[in-house]
């Protein structure tokens, strides 16, 4: 686990920035994002639309919280959880051989491929470090108090 | 003084590790807040969904006015009169295994990657019936949208697709018999 505060600050800005950008691109194109979700052929149309309307806001809010340094534990926990789900979806899609856009960045999305898998792994590494560093730093403070 | 320090002083954040209960409360708040904003900002979209506008896919029929969805009966009639060109949007391998008699193959996924349609010789005013496997397949809809953007004016999407056509025992072929 990384403890260097400068590196963790970099992680916060990268993860927060990526999710703010990803969320905003989807907020302005909810139909496009709903279709991207439907293309995974896992969720019903109603669920796809519901997720398309809610997820981008979760991403923007958690991204902002990370960048501003507010509620870092909660925000990084939510984003880590969503990245785990995205990784699962990517793996399943690659196994099924579906050639679809990931829907990660709305109309600027890339195809679901191994590069996307790697990018998500890197982001998950960053966000998990943010979460764990917050938790352990506060635990150390509590123990020494 | 950082924002975190201010929040600790206001008791909105904690100096110690977050309890599970508090983390769940904050997560629930973020999810609820996102749901309210997300659903509230898209009420008209939700109304359109429940009125059936997006039954064929998430796109605006008003925006893609040249696209019409047709039934098997309507596709059959167009086939019988020879008044439409049928376009198979599936992959080349699927097309070669069998397709609607006289259809041309424009494999949507490959064409999208190369950003070319190869339809320059086809008149924009003609009637084009696009199909793929069945109603779970989206490539016919995506190809129809692309055709609309290229200026084609009368695009019919046969949503039942290849499966429904074969099930009814209608004319099929494995050769390139397009006109």
- Structure confidence at residue A107 as a pLDDT band (50, 70, 90): low
The most confident of A32-41, A49-58, B167-176, by mean pLDDT:
A49-58
Contact across the interface for A54 and B39, Cβ inside 8 Å: yes
A vs B: CB pairs below 8 A:
94
Q: Give the mean model confidence (pLDDT) for residues A2-7.
A: 84
Which pLDDT does position A77 carry in this prediction? 93
Q: Which long-range contacts (CB under 8 A, 24 or more apart) does B144-148 make?
A: B144/B64, B144/B67, B145/B59, B145/B64, B145/B67, B146/B108, B146/B111, B146/B112, B146/B117, B147/B66, B147/B117, B147/B119, B148/B64, B148/B65, B148/B66, B148/B67
pTM: 0.79
Contact across the interface for B23 and A77, Cβ inside 8 Å: yes
CA dist., res. B42 & res. B24, Å (int) = 27
Residue with tokens 């339809």: B119
- Closest CB from A69, A77, A78 relative to B4: A69
The two tokens of residue B84 are 């439409």
Which pLDDT does position A142 carry in this prediction? 61
Residue with tokens 């990384």: A2
In a 3-state reduction of DSSP, which class is residue B161? helix
Q: Tell me the residue ranges of DSSP E strands in chain A.
A: none
Q: Is some CB atom of chain B closer than 8 A to the CB atom of A79?
A: no
- Structure confidence at residue A145 as a pLDDT band (50, 70, 90): low
Size of chain B, expressed as the number of residues it contains: 179
Q: Nearest CA of chain A to the CA of B77: how many Å?
A: 30
CA dist., res. B53 & res. B57, Å (int) = 9
Q: Nearest CA of chain B to the CA of A122: how many Å?
A: 23
Q: Cβ–Cβ contacts within 10 Å for residue B36, how many?
A: 12
Which pLDDT does position B16 carry in this prediction? 54
Q: Which residue of B has its CA nearest to A134?
A: B17
Contact across the interface for A74 and B23, Cβ inside 8 Å: yes
Which pLDDT does position B176 carry in this prediction? 67
Which pLDDT does position A21 carry in this prediction? 93
Residue numbers in A near B49 (CB within 8 A): 45-46, 49
- Greatest distance between any 2 Cα atoms in chain B: 79
pLDDT above 90: residue A24: yes
- Structure confidence at residue A42 as a pLDDT band (50, 70, 90): confident
The most confident of A12-16, A105-109, B17-21, by mean pLDDT:
A12-16
Which residue ranges of chain B lie beneath pLDDT 50? 10-15
8 Å CB contact between B104 and B86: yes
In a 3-state reduction of DSSP, which class is residue B151? coil
Contact across the interface for B31 and A45, Cβ inside 8 Å: no
Q: Is some CB atom of chain B closer than 8 A to the CB atom of A56?
A: yes
* Tens-digit pLDDT profile for residues B50-74: 998 888 888 888 889 999 999 999 9
Contact across the interface for B35 and A142, Cβ inside 8 Å: no
Q: Tell me the residue ranges of DSSP E strands in B16-165.
A: 67-70, 84-88, 99-100, 104-105, 127-131, 154-158
Pair type for strands B67-70 and B154-158: parallel
CA dist., res. B114 & res. A56, Å (int) = 30
The ipTM, to two decimals, is 0.85
Cα dihedral angle (A86, A90, A92, A96), rounded to 10 degrees? Answer: 150
Q: Is some CB atom of chain B closer than 8 A to the CB atom of A32?
A: yes
Q: Is some CB atom of chain B closer than 8 A to the CB atom of A17?
A: no
Average pLDDT of chain A to the nearest whole number? 86
CA dist., res. B136 & res. B22, Å (int) = 43
The two tokens of residue B73 are 């009966």
Contact across the interface for A142 and B15, Cβ inside 8 Å: yes
Q: Is some CB atom of chain B closer than 8 A to the CB atom of A74?
A: yes
Give the side-chain half-sphere CA count within 13 A for A35. Answer: 20
Contact across the interface for B15 and A31, Cβ inside 8 Å: no
Residue numbers in A near B93 (CB within 8 A): none
The two tokens of residue B133 are 């496997």
Q: Between A137 and A118, whose confidence is greater? A: A118
The two tokens of residue B59 are 């796109």
């Amino acid at each position: 686990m990384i403890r260097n505060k400068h590196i963790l600050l970099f992680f916060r800005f990268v993860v927060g920035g990526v999710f703010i950008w990803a969320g905003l691109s989807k907020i302005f194109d909810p139909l496009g994002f709903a279709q991207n979700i439907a293309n995974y052929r896992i969720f019903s149309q109603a669920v796809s639309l519901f997720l398309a309307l809610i997820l981008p806001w979760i991403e923007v809010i958690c991204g902002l919280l990370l960048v501003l340094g507010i509620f870092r534990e909660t925000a990084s926990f939510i984003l880590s959880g969503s990245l785990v789900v995205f990784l699962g979806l990517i793996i399943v899609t690659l196994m099924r051989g579906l050639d679809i856009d990931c829907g990660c960045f709305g109309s600027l999305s890339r195809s679901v491929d191994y590069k996307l898998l790697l990018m998500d792994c890197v982001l998950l590494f960053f966000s998990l470090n943010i979460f764990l560093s917050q938790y352990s730093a506060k635990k150390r403070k509590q123990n020494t108090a | 003084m950082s924002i975190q320090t201010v929040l600790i002083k206001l008791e909105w954040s904690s100096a110690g590790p977050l309890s599970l209960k508090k983390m769940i409360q904050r997560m629930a708040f973020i999810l609820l807040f996102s749901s309210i904003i997300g659903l509230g900002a898209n009420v008209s979209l939700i109304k359109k969904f429940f009125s059936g506008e997006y039954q064929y896919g998430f796109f605006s029929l008003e925006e893609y006015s040249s696209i019409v969805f047709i039934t098997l009966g309507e596709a059959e009639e167009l086939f019988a009169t020879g008044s439409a060109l049928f376009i198979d949007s599936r992959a080349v391998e699927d097309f070669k295994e069998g397709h609607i008699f006289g259809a041309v193959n424009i494999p949507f996924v490959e064409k999208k990657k190369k950003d070319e349609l190869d339809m320059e010789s086809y008149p924009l005013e003609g009637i084009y019936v696009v199909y793929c496997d069945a109603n779970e397949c989206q490539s016919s809809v995506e190809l129809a949208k692309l055709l609309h953007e290229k200026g084609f004016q009368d695009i019919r999407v046969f949503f039942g697709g290849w499966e429904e056509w074969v099930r009814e025992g209608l004319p099929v072929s494995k050769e390139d018999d397009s006109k």
